[in-house]
Amino acid sequence: SSGINAEWPLRPGGQFNTVNYEDPNLNVAIPVYSIHGNHDDPAGRTGLCALDLLSASGVINYFGKSNSLEEIIISPLLMRKGNTKLAIYGLGSIRDERLHRLFINKKVKCTRPDQDRDEWFNIFVIHQNRVKRGKSETSFIPEEVLPEFIDLIIWGHEHDCQTILKNNSVLNAYVLQPGSSVATSLSEGETEPKHCFKIQIYKKNFNKQDIPLTTVRPFLFKTVSLIDADVLTEKDALAYLQYNVDQMISEANQERERNPNAPELPIIRLRYDHHPEMSMINPIRFGTILLRFLSPSLSTISLSLSLFLSLSLSL
């Protein structure tokens, strides 16, 4: 339509400025649109990333790429079906401190359709830190700096799967945090059930449907305190930790009975806080003790140290 500034997904190597399902040489059942994250961000003199290859081969439609470090202008993907008009704004991962500064200095701008501007349902897709990490005040992107006309924000990068929409009263927008589809780090937030989501949109209203992922490897995380348990000797500590591991294994088995499609072997992490006057338990020794009680098919154990001594076991 005339008077509308829209972004075309990047298709280098094929037809430029086209979506893959309009290519007569491709058979696309469900079009996929994607921005890049912090692990596949553009690099090198030409600013290429993995999604460029997938886009050039016609597998996905890559959008949200910015080549400027001084100013970012985001044009939306515009779609229309019946009486519903959808505008999707995408911003691929950028170093948080840099993007935070650009937002504060009003250097991130979004173009909007000139026609029927208020009738479009606006989605903003972003892949950045949502919460502050460390001492830096600019290591995350506050929700309030995003455009005020956005209706739904889909926030990537964060691993926690949050099924409940958060309403931002400042923007008058909802925030959906899908989280990671599998456990990619042994953090407590990864223990939440994984989901994907189906968004149904009609004019300016939308409905969210939660779809549980049933083939995700179970991950259990538990923190215990030897001080609270009144455990003072290493012998008692080993017995107490083994008791907790046994409980977690039983819990993992019960979870798999409820979800038979899940992989058989769970991931278990036990973290404990020990008494300052008691020597730290050797994780290798603890793993050796556990091996005596595990069957040969469950004998792969990975141990690591954290701020407190953390015993991360893949059973």
Question: Which of 53, 97, 102, 49 is CA-nearest to residue 74?
Answer: 102
Distance from C-alpha of 12 to C-alpha of 65, rounded to nearest angstrom: 13
Among the listed residues 36, 39, 100, 159, the single catalytic one is: 39
Contact criterion met (CB below 8 Å) for 270 and 242: no
Question: Which of 170, 175, 172 is CA-nearest to residue 130?
Answer: 175
Distance from C-alpha of 182 to C-alpha of 83, rounded to nearest angstrom: 37
Distance from C-alpha of 87 to C-alpha of 73, rounded to nearest angstrom: 15
Beta strand pairing call for 205-212 and 195-202: antiparallel
Helix-strand-coil percent breakdown of the chain, rounded to 5? 20, 25, 50
Burial class (CB in 10 A: 0-12, 13-18, 19+), 190: buried
Q: Respond yes or no: is residue 39 known to be catalytic.
A: yes
**Amino acid (1-letter code) at residue 180:** S
36 CB-near residues (< 8 Å, 6+ apart)? 42, 49, 50, 51, 62, 64, 65, 92, 93, 127
The set of catalytic residues is 39
